[in-house]
């Protein structure tokens, strides 16, 4: 092996090492992101026995993070648990749901959101 071959091999090893570190960093970011999304995902249907994360729901509705297919199960569940919604969150949730209904292209998801919005609006304020 000549000095030139050794330099090329060394450059190749550095390039492979840098690519490996970049791939490892991307993998770590994906794993952390998945765990964060799974723990903070209000789109996962809450059980009827458990409590709903209303603040997480408000944040997700405002950011359009809930897929339309999730609303099929969320609509009925949230309507059943609407009495557990804290009073200060009711008005912002109604407003956020109205905006999400206006932006939605799925009529079934809009119907589920409307169901939840109406249930929240009907509750007594105090």
Q: Which domain holds residue 17?
A: 1-40
For residue 125, the model assigns a pLDDT of 58
Residue 113 near residue 97 (C-beta atoms within 8 A): yes
For residue 73, the model assigns a pLDDT of 82
CA pair distance 61, 89, nearest whole angstrom: 13
Residue 79 near residue 115 (C-beta atoms within 8 A): yes
For residue 46, the model assigns a pLDDT of 44
Please indicate, yes or no, whether residues 63 and 108 belong to a single structural domain of this protein.
Answer: yes
For residue 82, the model assigns a pLDDT of 85
User: What pLDDT tens digit does each residue of the chain (126 aa) get?
Assistant: 788 988 999 999 999 999 999 999 999 888 887 776 655 555 454 444 456 788 888 888 888 888 888 888 888 888 888 888 888 888 899 999 999 999 988 888 888 899 989 988 887 654
Please indicate, yes or no, whether residues 119 and 94 belong to a single structural domain of this protein.
Answer: yes
What total of structural domains would you count in the chain? 2
Please indicate, yes or no, whether residues 16 and 51 belong to a single structural domain of this protein.
Answer: no
Query: Encoding tokens for residue 101?
Result: 């209904």
Please indicate, yes or no, whether residues 58 and 102 belong to a single structural domain of this protein.
Answer: yes
CA pair distance 126, 124, nearest whole angstrom: 6
For residue 60, the model assigns a pLDDT of 87
For residue 48, the model assigns a pLDDT of 44
Please indicate, yes or no, whether residues 57 and 101 belong to a single structural domain of this protein.
Answer: yes
Please indicate, yes or no, whether residues 87 and 72 belong to a single structural domain of this protein.
Answer: yes
Give the residue among 13, 67, 21 at the shortest CA–CA distance from 45: 67
**Token pair 């609509």 is at which residue?**
75
Please indicate, yes or no, whether residues 50 and 36 belong to a single structural domain of this protein.
Answer: no
Residue 88 near residue 48 (C-beta atoms within 8 A): no
Please indicate, yes or no, whether residues 27 and 56 belong to a single structural domain of this protein.
Answer: no
For residue 32, the model assigns a pLDDT of 80
Please indicate, yes or no, whether residues 62 and 29 belong to a single structural domain of this protein.
Answer: no
């Amino acid at each position: 092996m000549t000095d030139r071959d050794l330099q090329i091999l060394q450059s190749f090893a550095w390039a492979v090492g840098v690519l490996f570190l970049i791939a490892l960093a991307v993998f770590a970011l994906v794993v952390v992101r998945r765990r964060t999304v799974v723990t903070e995902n209000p789109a996962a249907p809450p059980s009827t026995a458990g409590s709903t994360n209303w603040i997480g729901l408000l944040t997700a509705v405002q950011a359009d993070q809930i897929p339309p297919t999730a609303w099929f199960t969320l609509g009925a569940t949230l309507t059943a648990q609407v009495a557990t919604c804290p009073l200060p969150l009711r008005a912002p949730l109604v407003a956020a749901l109205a905006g999400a209904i206006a932006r939605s292209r799925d009529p079934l998801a809009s119907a589920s959101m409307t169901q939840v919005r109406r249930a929240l609006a009907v509750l007594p304020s105090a």
